[in-house]
A and B are shown apart, each in its own frame.
Chain A
Amino acid sequence: MTPTEEGLHPTKYPWVHEQWFKTFDHQALRRGFQVYREVCASCHSLSRIPYRSLVGTVLTADEAKALATENEYDTEPNDQGEIEQRPGKLSDYLPSPYKNDEAARFANNGALPPDLSLIVKARHGGCNYIFSLLTGYPEEPPAGASVGAGLNFNPYFPGTGIAMARVLYDGLVDYEDETPASTSQMAKDVVEFLNWAAEPEMDDRKRMGMKILVVTSVLFAVSIWVKRYKWAAIKSRKIVYNPPKDNTTTRF
Chain B
Amino acid sequence: MGIWDAITDLVEAATPWTTADAEAPAQEEQQEETAETKEDESEKTEEATEEPAEEEEAEAEAEEEEEEEEEDEEEIVDPKEKFEEECRESKQCAPAKHHFDECVDRVTNASSSDGPKEDCVEEFFHLAHCATQCAAPKLWSVLK
Contact = CB atoms under 8 A, between A and B. Distances in A.
B144 A14 contact: no
A9 interface: yes
A181 B100 CA distance: 31
B76 A145 contact: no
Interface stretch (B40-48, B89-97, B124-132): B124-132
A138 B9 CA distance: 40
Given A142-B124, A145-B120, A181-B76, A28 B13 contact: no
A185 interface: yes
In the complex, the 4 A-B pairs of residues with the closest C-beta atoms, listed nearest first = A144-B119, A56-B22, A184-B80, A142-B124
Given A21-B10, A135-B80, A143-B108, A13 B117 contact: no
Contact of B121 (A4, A11, A178): A4
A183 B78 contact: yes
A28 B117 CA distance: 46
B20 interface: yes
Contacts of A184: 78-80, 139, 143
B137 interface: yes
Nearest to A12: B136
Contact of B124 (A63, A155, A181, A206): A155
Given A9-B129, A144-B107, A155-B128, 12 more contacts: A4-B119, A8-B129, A11-B132, A22-B1, A28-B144, A142-B121, A144-B118, A170-B77, A183-B81, A185-B143, A188-B143, A211-B13
Contacts of A60: 22-24
Chain A binding surface, main DSSP class: loop
Contacts, number: 121
Grouping DSSP codes into helix (H, G, I), strand (E, B) and loop, the B interface class, with mixed when no group exceeds half, is: helix
Contacts of B118: 144
A67 B79 CA distance: 33
24 contacts: A3-B121, A3-B122, A8-B128, A11-B132, A21-B6, A55-B22, A57-B20, A60-B22, A61-B23, A62-B24, A136-B132, A138-B128, A142-B104, A145-B119, A160-B121, A170-B77, A171-B75, A180-B76, A182-B76, A182-B143, A184-B78, A211-B13, A211-B14, A214-B10
A136 B81 CA distance: 10
Given A143-B103, A184-B80, A11 B133 contact: yes
Chain B: interface size category:
35 or more
B22 A210 contact: no
A145 B144 CA distance: 35
A132 interface: yes
A179 interface: yes
A144 B117 contact: yes
A53 to B, nearest CB: 11
B125 A155 contact: yes
A210 B143 contact: no
Interface string B57-69: 0000000000010
Interface in A4-26: 4, 8-9, 11-14, 19-22
A3 B6 CA distance: 40
In the complex, which of the residues B5, B13, B81 has the most CB atoms of chain A within 10 Å of its own CB atom? B13
A102 B129 CA distance: 36
Contacts of A250: none
A4 B103 contact: no
Nearest to B105: A143
Nearest to A136: B128
A192 B108 CA distance: 40
